[in-house]
Structure 1
């Protein structure tokens, strides 16, 4: 392939990935609209991911190689996929829907951006990955950003519930990221299979829990439209496009593109939900975004820089 063709393919992958982050950002707006129409949060989330699982399932069943991989999966990997589904979908996504029912979209997305910070703390205690001085600087910047955004603190009772849900969401998402890296590092399971199985387990469990605890409520045709769009376009299609773009993009590029969701969600929430933010909150969001990007991107620095910056590496 010529350099011109490579550049064109790379630009297409970047555009495709940015489009996916836009779809994912609009999900937050659609979820808020559904919640304002009194859709039960956990049932709503369960319907979205169960329908998305049903959309992805034919790509596994209809592919002979995928069927053979699933048939040969050992018990340990089945357990990992089941746990991944519970962590990432039942807990993390379920908590996100509950959080959105209680908090502004920009507040929740700021809190969920702390996942890399939680993973860095996990690395300190388990030696899962080396934590550098630069990463600690990023963590400090993120914490300062959170203080700038939230202080002075004025919380209603419903917002406390939202913050608890956000904490459950960010810790579950962090744990799922660590486990997901482990599952994908084997290189034996196609990402479509990993997503389909984990989404099926987590989505169906979430749907059952939602129906038992919250009920179904009355779902209008418009609300079914929101659920269907979230499942088919913003989950199944977006996942397919994202994985295709990852075949061309570097890890640094995908991390940076994914981080654009924070300002996108904030802008969309202001335009469509009337969730305005002031200068102080914009500054807080910017600091959190800069800090979490620092934590995420450090691992992609050249090895020589890592050796220079790593804490205690030469001790």
Structure 2
């Protein structure tokens, strides 16, 4: 990946880590499904009136909205409302990395490299360490809801990957319009039509502040960057960056709520970071090692599918690229 795209991925991980603190603050005053629906209603309107529809089918727009947003965040909001800690929630969601790699291989034919696959597996080991350390004290239902959110996010990643060429920002805005419909319908079915209206009318300034953060920063900014990266690179190359979200969330929870990470959290977070490093840089180091040993005499025509410089550009400065930059 190009260095600027790596920085974008790291920024997304930072934003989404802090976002779990904002969600927990909002859940103190607002029912989870209402809070999630309000978040995406504010993302869609009024921007949908001025942002042109992305050049993808309605099925792709609906798929991104239902899986990457409604299912992913609807499940995790419910899980946190039922007691899943803000530090554990992002770790459970990292199951999406495994789901993304498997679904991308099955549905898109993307085969992860050995270092990428090893890095994902190492990251999942770190996830398992934390879950084993804290999962014993957690209810079963919130854990399963968190895993369902990870599966939905993985499906959303694959759908977004198929939307190559579409404006990432427009995709975020238009897909957000899909989200409030199923969430509010479920809330009305469970608690009646008066609950969503009363919840919004009685929101505190702190709840509104947390909602605006999730709208402007976590959704409009972070999801635009994320969708753009998924259009430039294979899903198995992008998804592991979300393994950085749990350590950031743990640090944010400690600074805001005084939640001190335990031994399991620190150990698991370190293993997760190792998995990210291996998945992102293992293949590059392997190629350089082979070059030093003299086993790679002829440069490849295209440097994987990363969108990086081609052999033509390296041999003849200024030559046109064989790979389109998104």
Question: Does the TM-score normalized on the shorter chain lie above 0.5?
Answer: yes
Q: Quick one: which of 48, 67, 84 aligns to 1:57?
A: 48
Q: Does 1:225 align with 2:209?
A: yes
Are residue 176 (structure 1) and residue 156 (structure 2) matched?
yes
- 38, 47, 72: which one pairs with 1:47? 38
CA 1:178–1:141 in structure 2 vs 1: closer, same or farther (change >3 Å)? same
- Root-mean-square deviation (CA, aligned residues, Å) is 3.8
Are the aligned partners of 2:17 and 2:249 in contact in 1 as well (CA < 8 Å)?
yes
- TM-score normalised to the size of structure 2? 0.70
Find the residue that maps to 1:276 and give its secondary structure: coil
Question: Structure 1 residues 169, 264: closer, same or farther in 2, change over 3 A?
Answer: same
Structure-1 separation of matches of 2:265 and 2:13? 22
What residue number does 2:21 align with? 29
Q: Which moved more, 1:266-275 or 1:291-300?
A: 291-300
Shift of 1:125: 4.7
Partner residue, 1:150: 131
Q: Cα distance 1:204–1:297, how it changes in 2: closer, same or farther (>3 A)?
A: farther
Matching of residues 62-211 of structure 1 within 5 Å: 66=52, 77-101=57-81, 102-123=83-104, 125=106, 128-151=109-132, 155-156=136-137, 159-184=139-164, 187=165, 189-211=166-188
Question: Is contact 1:53–1:203 with CA below 8 Å preserved after alignment?
Answer: no
Whether contact under 8 Å (2:32, 2:78) holds in the other structure is: yes
* Cα distance in 1 for residues equivalent to 2:23 and 2:275: 27
Summarize deviations over 1:166-192 as a string: whole Å, max 9, x none: 1111000001101110122xx2x3222
Name the residue aligned to 2:311.
Answer: none
| Match among 215, 240, 247 for residue 263 of structure 1 | 247
State the Cα distance separating 1:207 from its structure 2 match. Answer: 3.1
| Conservation of the 8 A alpha-carbon contact between 2:125 and 2:271 | yes
* Aligned positions, number: 279
Cα–Cα, structure 1 residues 15 and 222, in superposed 2: closer, same or farther, change >3 Å? same
Q: Unaligned regions of 5+ residues in structure 1, if any?
A: 1-9, 61-65, 307-315
SS of residue matched to 1:104: coil
Partners of 1:94 and 1:206 within 8 A in 2: yes
Rounded to whole Å, the distance in 2 between the matches of 1:285 and 1:14 is 20
Return the alpha-carbon distance in structure 2 between the equivalents of residues 172 and 107 of structure 1: 18
User: Cα offset for 1:243?
Assistant: 7.5
Task: Quote the Cα distance in structure 2 between the aligned partners of 1:148 and 1:190.
Answer: 38
- Aligned partners of 1:239 and 1:154: how far apart in 2? 29
